A = this chain, B = another copy of it.
Amino acid sequence: MYAKHTADPDQATTPHPCESWPDDGRSFRETLDRIGDKWSVLVIGILSGGPLRFCALHRRVPGVSQRMLTLTLRHLERDGVVSRAVYAEVPPRVEYQLTPLGESLRAIVHALAQWVTDHHGEIESARDRYDAG
């Protein structure tokens, strides 16, 4: 809206992609919506321990429904983050595991898990303080 007042692109004032997102955050959003949706991070974190079958995965994400787990896995598979291996056996077996692309997310997901673990108490007390005041 207001970016017409000068011919000079304002990229000179953006040293880090974080403070002023490239593409104004739109291309970020597309990807972020996958990584940041309700279950993706949990699934990626769990799969970082090794390949798992659907049921085992389901057991380890307590709140998720089969539908959402299926959808999450489909999205992650579409984005090339997890791979799906079907073994034509009886009973049928399907194993999911991280692709190299997914592996490259491990550090971030683990850092996030660590952060949440470390600061969960702080956040809870912050909420109490906010709700009290």
Contact = CB atoms under 8 A, between A and B. Distances in A.
Contacts of A28: 42, 113, 116-117
B107 A111 contact: yes
Interface residues of A, number: 68
What is the count of identical protomers in the complex? 2
A123 B42 contact: no
A24 to B, nearest CB: 5
A45 B20 contact: yes
Q: Chain A interface secondary structure, helix, strand, loop or mixed?
A: helix
Contacts of A104: 115, 119
Contact of A111 (B50, B63, B108, B113): B108
Contacts of A27: 116, 120
A102 to B, nearest CB: 10
